[in-house]
Chains A and B, each alone.
Chain A
Amino acid sequence: MMTPTTEAELAEAIGAATSPLRIKGGGTRVMPGAGEGLSTRGLSGISLYEPGALTVVAGAGTPLAEVEAALEAEGQMLPFEPGVMRGLLGTHGEPTIGGAVACNASGPRRVQLGACRDFLIGLRFVDGAGRVLKNGGRVMKNVTGYDLVKLLCGSYGTLGVISEVAFKVLPKPETTATLIWRGGTFAEDLQVMTEALCSPFGVTGAARGHDGDVLIRVEGMAGSVAYRSAQLRLLAGRAAARIETDASANDALWRDIRDVTCFAGQPGRIWRTSVKPSDMPAIAALPHRHMVDWGGGLIWTLTEENIDLRAQITAPGHSTLLRGCGAPLFHPEPPPIAALSAGLRAKFDPRGILNPGLMG
Chain B
Amino acid sequence: MDMPTPKAEIIAKKARVIGLLESVLPKEAVIHHEAELRAYECDALTAYKCPPLAAVLPATTAQVSDVLKICHQEGVPVVPRGAGTSLAGGALPTADCVILGVAKMNEVLETDYPNRIIRVQTGRTNLSVTGAVEEDGFFYAPDPSSQLACAIAGNIAMNSGGAHCLKYGVTTNNLLGVTMVLMDGTVMEIGGAYMDAPGLDLLGVICGSEGQLGVVTEATLRILPKPEGARPVLMGFDDNETAGACVADIIKAGVLPVAIEFMDRPCIRATEAFAQAGYPDCEALLIVEVEGSEAEIDEQLEVILKVAATHNPVELRQSKSADESARIWLGRKSAFGAMGQINDYICLDGTIPVSNLPMVLGRMNEISAQFGLDVANVFHAGDGNLHPLILFDANKPGDLETCEAMGAEILKLCVEAGGCLTGEHGVGVEKRDLMLHQFSPEDLDIQMAVKDVFDPAWLLNPAKVFPLTVSAARRAA
Residues of chain A having any CB pair with chain B under 8 Å: 50-55, 74-75, 104, 106, 110-111, 114-115, 117-118, 127, 131-135, 137-151, 153-155, 158-159, 170-172, 174, 194, 197-200, 202, 220-221, 223-224, 227, 274-278, 294, 297-298, 316-318, 320, 330-331, 333-334, 336-338, 340-341, 343-345, 347-348, 359-360
Distance A330 CA – B170 CA, assembled complex (angstroms) = 28
Q: Which residues of B contact A151 (CB under 8 A)?
A: 200-202, 204-205, 450
Instruction: Say whether B372 faces chain A, with CB atoms less than 8 Å apart.
Output: no
A139 near B420 with CB under 8 A, answer yes
Query: What residue of chain A has the Cβ atom nearest to residue B165's Cβ?
Result: A141
Q: Which of A117, A198, A330 contacts B113 (CB 8 A)?
A: A198
Query: What residue of chain A has the Cβ atom nearest to residue B247's Cβ?
Result: A52
B194 near A316 with CB under 8 A, answer yes
Distance A21 CA – B117 CA, assembled complex (angstroms) = 41
B114 near A198 with CB under 8 A, answer yes
B420 near A294 with CB under 8 A, answer no
B438 near A318 with CB under 8 A, answer no
Contact with A along B436-474 (1 / 0, CB 8 A): 001110111011011111100000000001000000000
Contact with A along B407-439 (1 / 0, CB 8 A): 000000000001111111111000100010011
Q: Which residues of B contact A159 (CB under 8 A)?
A: 200
Given contacts A143-B208, A198-B116, A199-B225, is CB(A276)–CB(B159) below 8 Å? no
A153 near B199 with CB under 8 A, answer no
Q: Which of A53, A135, A141, A276 contacts B251 (CB 8 A)?
A: A53
Q: Which residues of A contact B354 (CB under 8 A)?
A: 50, 52-53
Min C-beta distance of A63 to chain B, whole Å: 24
A318 near B194 with CB under 8 A, answer yes
B199 near A137 with CB under 8 A, answer no
Per the 8 Å Cβ criterion, residues 339-385 of B in contact with A are 351-355, 380, 383-385
Residues of chain B having any CB pair with chain A under 8 Å: 112-117, 137, 158-159, 161, 165-166, 169-170, 172-173, 182, 186, 188-190, 192-205, 207-209, 225-228, 247-249, 251-256, 292-293, 295-296, 299-300, 303, 351-355, 380, 383-385, 418-427, 431, 435, 438-440, 442-444, 446-447, 449-454, 465
Given contacts A146-B450, A277-B114, is CB(A115)–CB(B196) below 8 Å? yes
Query: What residue of chain A has the Cβ atom nearest to residue B159's Cβ?
Result: A143
A224 near B351 with CB under 8 A, answer no
Given contacts A52-B354, A53-B248, A135-B443, is CB(A143)–CB(B201) below 8 Å? no
B420 near A137 with CB under 8 A, answer yes
Distance A172 CA – B255 CA, assembled complex (angstroms) = 9
Q: Which residues of A contact B188 (CB under 8 A)?
A: 334, 336-337
Distance A158 CA – B201 CA, assembled complex (angstroms) = 12
B449 near A51 with CB under 8 A, answer no
Query: What residue of chain B has the Cβ atom nearest to residue A224's Cβ?
Result: B296
Given contacts A115-B196, A150-B204, A198-B225, is CB(A139)–CB(B383) below 8 Å? yes
Distance A251 CA – B449 CA, assembled complex (angstroms) = 44
Min C-beta distance of B277 to chain A, whole Å: 26
Distance A276 CA – B299 CA, assembled complex (angstroms) = 35
B248 near A200 with CB under 8 A, answer no
A110 near B195 with CB under 8 A, answer yes
Min C-beta distance of A25 to chain B, whole Å: 18
A154 near B420 with CB under 8 A, answer no
Given contacts A138-B353, A150-B205, is CB(A344)–CB(B453) below 8 Å? yes
Q: Which of B166, B296, B424 contacts A227 (CB 8 A)?
A: B296
A142 near B423 with CB under 8 A, answer yes
Given contacts A138-B353, A144-B427, is CB(A221)–CB(B296) below 8 Å? yes
B450 near A139 with CB under 8 A, answer no
A147 near B225 with CB under 8 A, answer no
B256 near A170 with CB under 8 A, answer yes
Given contacts A139-B353, A144-B431, A224-B292, is CB(A153)–CB(B254) below 8 Å? no
Q: Which of B227, B446, B453 contacts A148 (CB 8 A)?
A: B446
Min C-beta distance of A339 to chain B, whole Å: 9
Distance A104 CA – B200 CA, assembled complex (angstroms) = 10
Name the 3 nearest CB pairs between A and B, nearest first: A150-B204, A52-B248, A318-B198
CB pairs A–B below 8 angstroms (13 shown): A53-B248, A133-B446, A139-B419, A141-B161, A143-B161, A143-B170, A143-B208, A145-B443, A147-B172, A200-B226, A278-B112, A334-B189, A347-B450
Q: Which residues of A contact B192 (CB under 8 A)?
A: 276, 316-317
Distance A179 CA – B442 CA, assembled complex (angstroms) = 51
Min C-beta distance of B323 to chain A, whole Å: 23
Distance A227 CA – B420 CA, assembled complex (angstroms) = 41
Q: Which of A134, A144, A174, A338 contacts B435 (CB 8 A)?
A: A144
Min C-beta distance of A147 to chain B, whole Å: 5
Q: Which residues of A contact B116 (CB under 8 A)?
A: 197-198
Q: Which of A53, A137, A221, A333 contacts B198 (CB 8 A)?
A: A333
A141 near B383 with CB under 8 A, answer yes
Distance A344 CA – B452 CA, assembled complex (angstroms) = 9
A118 near B195 with CB under 8 A, answer no
Query: What residue of chain A has the Cβ atom nearest to residue B253's Cβ?
Result: A171
Query: What residue of chain B has the Cβ atom nearest to residue A52's Cβ?
Result: B248
Contacts A138-B353, A144-B420, A348-B449 given; 4 further ones with Cβ under 8 A?
A52-B354, A146-B205, A146-B450, A150-B172
